[in-house]
Amino acid sequence: MPIIFNPSQLGIWNFMNLILSYSSHAQLGLMHGLNKAIPLSKGDELEETKIRNSIFWLNLALSTVASFSVFLFSFFIENSYKFPLRILSIIFFLQMLYYYYYSLLRAKAKFILISNGILFTSTLTTFLVLALSYLFLDPIMGALIGLGLSIFIVLIYWHVKSNYVFKFNFNLKTIKKCFIMGLPILAIGLLDSFAVSIDRMFIAINLSETQLGYYALGIMMSGILSIIPGSVASVLYTSMLERYSLNEDPKDVRNLLLGPMRVLWTLMIIIIAIILIILPLLIQLYLPKYIESISTVQILIIGSFFMSASYLPGQFLIAVNKQKLIILIQLIICIIVSIVDYFCIHYGYGFLGVAIGTITGYSIYGIGYTSIALNLIFDDKKEILKYLFWLILPLLTLFLTFMFVNCLFNFLPNEKPQLLFSIIKLIIVLFATLLSVWIVNKDGVVFHFFKNEYKKVQTKLYQSFSFK
């Protein structure tokens, strides 16, 4: 997106996505209730049908109301946002239907269909947004239309492949049950959205669209890095819920949390180490308009590790009905981040200071969720401290090594070859990071996982290219 948009346009685009992110809450928690109610009603086809049909028609009504509300809002905002918001009102409607199908398919454990839909969404969004933003005189309008078309196409795909027919049904008892089950998760979702959007709200209100665009580049990068852990957590959620429902003991779910959590930590720290060094060079070469955002992007990329680390324990806490603890942490984050952002803006630190507030919130997310989840699984506090050590040591090593090489290379002449020095930095940082990863994974659990996955890929490649 930064290749298409200048910083000011990227600021508007990010603001549109910020509003769109609240579409998942306009269904008043019903999708979360559906996600819980259908797996718990497994085997009772009549009850599943009631849930499916009742929530569909109510969601359709809520989608219409929410879409119209966004359209009305466009008449009371600055001119630069008016027409994009009117297009967004249609996308808002489609996005709520998208959430319904995604939730229904996930509740029915149709993960292949979900994966295909997500893949199609990513591919179509990338192609259509890029293509239409180039074709339209106003790139923002073209990008929004491309986004809407991609969601619409995937909706048709899911509808055709799932073969669901939604007969009109408005069972109040079923709706009430889903609403009550989903209400705590709705509260969590709203607080979560607010916690991760406070930063952009402060920038949008107090700074310019261009500065919001600089900051948005970092948010986009950290969001991309969160796709893998977010997807894994989403897929494992249903299994966690089913396993917990047998005896209602959090310890029964430990195998779905501990192993995947360590693998994700290892994967993310390696990816972040590479991107932290390479991205500034890419911005200088291909996005010179965004050079001012490099420090902010690097701060947010480091923070994305903690945010990524929060997804799996967060889903675990929801599955074992510890939503109140999540809400407490989110309230603390909202208060702390709001205070930090306010003072950073007030004392002139700009969007770089806001990024400090954001990484503070991300850190509380990752460490807080993980600590609570581990406390429910382990009786021995030493085990909890060991896992927290495994979480923090590689990131601390990465951060200190990164600061060291930056300080070291700053003493060199400005005419230094950027590519060569970036490669040297990458080798040093990656070596130190991998060493710390090896230290905390001496038991071989993580390496055994990657070895097995490599063998699976190797087998599939061999089967694909072998001739019978």
What pLDDT, in 10s, does the model give residues 138-181? Answer: 888 899 999 999 999 999 988 888 888 788 877 788 888 888 88
| Rounded distance between C-alpha atoms, residue 182 and residue 156, angstroms | 26
Closest CA to 95 of 36, 27, 39: 27
What pLDDT, in 10s, does the model give residues 382-441? Answer: 888 888 888 888 888 988 988 888 887 776 666 556 677 788 888 888 898 888 888 887
Q: What is the pLDDT of residue 338?
A: 92
Q: What is the pLDDT of residue 464?
A: 53
Model confidence at 301: pLDDT above 80: yes
The answer to pTM > 0.85 is: no
| Rounded distance between C-alpha atoms, residue 453 and residue 259, angstroms | 14
Q: What is the pLDDT of residue 413?
A: 62
User: How large is the average pLDDT for residues 48-57?
Assistant: 81
Model confidence at 186: pLDDT above 90: no
Q: Is 320 within 8 Å of 253 (Cβ atoms)?
A: yes
Higher pLDDT, 459 or 69: 69
Q: What is the pLDDT of residue 468?
A: 44
| 293, two tokens | 């955002």
Model confidence at 232: pLDDT above 90: no
Task: Find the helix or strand (DSSP H, E) in which 96 lies.
Answer: helix 79-107
3-class DSSP state of 357: helix
Q: What is the pLDDT of residue 149?
A: 93
Q: What is the pLDDT of residue 33?
A: 82
Element counts in the chain: helices (H) and strands (E): 16, 0
What is the full DSSP assignment across 385-418?
Answer: HHHHHHHHHHHHHHHHHHHHHHHHHHTS-TTS-H
